[in-house]
Amino acid sequence: MKLIALGDTHGRTDWRRIVSGNESDKLVLVGDYFDAKEDITAEQQMDNFRELLSYKQANREKAILLFGNHDYHYLDVVHETYSGFQKWKQAGIRELLREAMRENLLQMCFVHENYVFTHAGITKTWASNNNVDLTQGGKSIENQINDLFRHKPIAFGFTIGENFSFSGDDICQSPIWVRPNSLRKDRTDGFVQIVGHTPQRKLVIDDSIVLIDTLGTSGEYLVITDGEMAVGNPEL
């Protein structure tokens, strides 16, 4: 069993090269398909997202597309915007996301064995505040979080906590906003969390948290083969 996980794309097309250069059983992207950090136009971001959706439609069991905060703030029910928000393309991006959700092409959480994938991570505090039972583990966590997103999407919005951090560095933040420092302080036991959201110079692997937002820096990605984690070759 081989799984490949990619960090935030922000309109980048690296995923095409990585997919074509690697055989895998699962491909997980941890969100942030929009709001490019580089010279990538809104139209190019939208075209890239359409390609990702087409790939997902053709590979429903293999491809997993997760939500990030830079996707979330375009949703109809969300009334907050974050850095990079492209107001002039809001309607077009919103319609793409609306259609993707109707077709069940996007989700908030994915669990594979003892690996839990979200955009930014799950803290015990946020889970407790939103009645997510982390003690059941496995697919129960995935189902609870995805159900919560479907029925109460505002639970994933930005929250000002005790740290008064406007970057999201607080244990009360949601799985699309919490930062690694707070995630480490309030992490859940028993599984490894694999997250993007916070750019890293190189992919970071430790016992409980793996940081993979590196497509815009080293170009690295995560490969899990039969339960063993490794850094993917950025040239492939």
- The stretch 45-64 carries a mean pLDDT of 98
Res. 235 pLDDT band, cuts 50 70 90: confident
> Do 54 and 31 touch, CB atoms closer than 8 A?
no
Res. 168 pLDDT band, cuts 50 70 90: very high
Res. 63 pLDDT band, cuts 50 70 90: very high
Q: Where are the beta strands (DSSP E) in the chain?
A: 2-6, 26-29, 63-65, 110-112, 115-117, 192-195, 204-205, 209-211, 221-225, 228-232
Res. 140 pLDDT band, cuts 50 70 90: very high
Q: Indicate whether this model's pTM tops 0.95.
A: yes
Pick the CATH number of 2-232 from 3.10.20.600, 3.30.160.70, 3.60.21.10, 2.20.25.650: 3.60.21.10
Query: CA-CA distance, 234 to 236, in Å (whole number)?
Result: 5
Query: CA-CA distance, 128 to 177, in Å (whole number)?
Result: 16
Q: Which residue has the tokens 């990702």?
A: 52
Summarize pLDDT for 75-104 with one digit per residue, the tens. 999 999 999 999 999 999 999 999 999 999
Res. 61 pLDDT band, cuts 50 70 90: very high
Percentages of the chain per state (helix, strand, coil), in multiples of 5: 35, 15, 50
Query: CA-CA distance, 179 to 174, in Å (whole number)?
Result: 10
- The stretch 183-194 carries a mean pLDDT of 92
pLDDT at residue 207, rounded to an integer: 81
Q: Which residue has the tokens 């949601």?
A: 174
Q: Which residue has the tokens 């690996």?
A: 115
In DSSP terms, 66 is beta-bridged to 107
Res. 136 pLDDT band, cuts 50 70 90: confident
Query: Which residues have a Cβ under 8 Å from the Cβ of 206 and sit 6 or more positions away?
Result: none
How many other CB atoms are found less than 10 A from the CB of residue 81?
Answer: 15
- The stretch 225-231 carries a mean pLDDT of 95
pLDDT at residue 91, rounded to an integer: 97
